[in-house]
Amino acid sequence: MRFGRAAVFLTVCAGAIAGVAAYIYIVHGRAFSPAPSVTVNSSVVAPTVESGQSVESEVTPTPAVATKAPTPIAVEKPPASPLPTEVYFRYTGLDAHYGKLARVRLTGNAGPEFFDTLDCEVVHVAGRRGLCLSAERGVITTYKARVFDTRSLNVLADLPLAGVPSRCRVSRDGRRAALTVFVSGHGYTAVNFSTQTLLIDLAKGTVDADLEKFTVSKDGTPIQASDFNFWGVTFAADSRYFYATLSTAGEHYLIKGDAKMHSAEVIRKGMECPSLSPDGRRIAFKQRFTDDGRVQWHIAVFDLASGRETVLAEGRSVDDQLEWLDDRRVLYSMPAGEGGSGATTDVWVARVNGGGGGPERFLGNAYSPAVLR
């Protein structure tokens, strides 16, 4: 009799465990599914680092043509640079998942994943927070910023946007984000366009500031003009400080801003879409030039301490805000194929010191890469 009761009890427990396992499988399957049409170049993912070994020791720097800035910029010592673990991006394969948020892990052999709950025009992540700028298309297209948790993918806040999404960044500590939209115009090559760049308090899910309201100084003197446009924010390790682009009177400037004081200072001319390196020492950016009457961009890296400026080994025009994969490589989006359209894009990777060959395709059918560390 005792044996019979024990057998019944064990049978009930086994059934309960099987039910829980089935529930977890179903929920997990709904959260994300593999995206076999995303191609990952495994040869350029994050390097394996042995204990005590420096990543930089794997690369032999090569000389590069450089120029000096008039005055070096003071650099705050950032915390140690963590290695990348995942890359989030907008999926651009021409199928039912076009525009969905996707992710690829840089360790192990797991394939790419994408998430059907979030449609993003542009995306960025840091820590446990993500920002997805989305479009709701209909008779009248509307736009919004969606703050989400990177672990649960739960949407924490929705904010209406005044125009077409362009750029966004989340601060390294996950406390603040920035976004840029086109209020008029659709690209930075246009003569007349207008942007709005907002700072977002991610803890509250509210707009913290509009850069148009900041006090901007140049050479110690406040400046202001009706044609001010800001875009391409990148945060320092302390999310209080940031760099961004200011455009006025046909010129483009790098500015350093203070989110607490609502102020900014012009640092240097001729730099657009800055992206601060994980070690806080360099800024990757795009540099405008005109070829046969068309606006194009080189991509380059500026060393904050020495003022050295190095153009990267990428011969194509890159209209993107670069994302650092690690302290020696950057990611950026390009139209797919020869003469490809903007609908389908790939993510490329280039070394910032010129060593190790030219750019390589990093992710196929991808746009707006965001590295989670």
Residues 195-218 have pLDDT tens digits of 999 999 999 999 999 999 999 999
Domain membership of residue 171 (yes or no) is: yes
Q: Spell out the long-range contacts of 296-299 with Cβ–Cβ below 8 A and sequence spacing 24 or more.
A: 297/272, 299/330, 299/332, 299/350
Most confident among 29-38, 48-57, 110-119, 292-301 (mean pLDDT):
292-301
Domain membership of residue 289 (yes or no) is: yes
Query: What pLDDT score was predicted for residue 79?
Result: 60
pTM of the model: 0.81
Query: Residues of the chain with pLDDT > 90: what percent?
Result: 70
Domain membership of residue 16 (yes or no) is: no
Domain membership of residue 39 (yes or no) is: no
CATH number of the domain within which 195 lies? 2.120.10.30
Domain membership of residue 273 (yes or no) is: yes
Q: Residues with Cβ < 8 Å from 94, sequence gap 6 or more?
A: 343, 344
Q: Who has greater pLDDT, 372 or 4?
A: 372
Q: Residue 62's pLDDT band (boundaries 50, 70, 90)?
A: very low
At 318-361, the pLDDT tens digits run 999 999 999 999 999 999 977 655 689 999 999 998 767 899 99
Query: What pLDDT score was predicted for residue 103?
Result: 96
Query: What pLDDT score was predicted for residue 110?
Result: 74
Which range (76-80, 102-106, 126-130) has the least confidence?
Answer: 76-80
Domain count for the chain, please give it.
Answer: 1
Q: Residue 38's pLDDT band (boundaries 50, 70, 90)?
A: low
Query: What pLDDT score was predicted for residue 69?
Result: 43
- What is the CB-side half-sphere exposure of residue 32 using CA atoms within 13 A? 20
Q: Which domain holds residue 124?
A: 56-372
Residue 274 and residue 323: Cα distance in Å, rounded? 9
DSSP annotation of 205 reads T
- What is the CB-side half-sphere exposure of residue 339 using CA atoms within 13 A? 0
At 64-92, the pLDDT tens digits run 334 444 455 655 555 667 889 999 999 99
Domain membership of residue 43 (yes or no) is: no
Domain membership of residue 36 (yes or no) is: no
What is the rounded average pLDDT of the residues 299-305?
97
Q: Spell out the long-range contacts of 175-178 with Cβ–Cβ below 8 A and sequence spacing 24 or more.
A: 175/201, 175/202, 175/203, 175/239, 176/200, 176/201, 176/202, 176/208, 176/235, 176/239, 176/259, 177/124, 177/129, 177/131, 177/147, 177/202, 178/233, 178/235, 178/242, 178/244
Domain membership of residue 51 (yes or no) is: no
Query: What pLDDT score was predicted for residue 357?
Result: 80
Which range (49-63, 168-182, 222-236, 319-333) has the least confidence?
Answer: 49-63
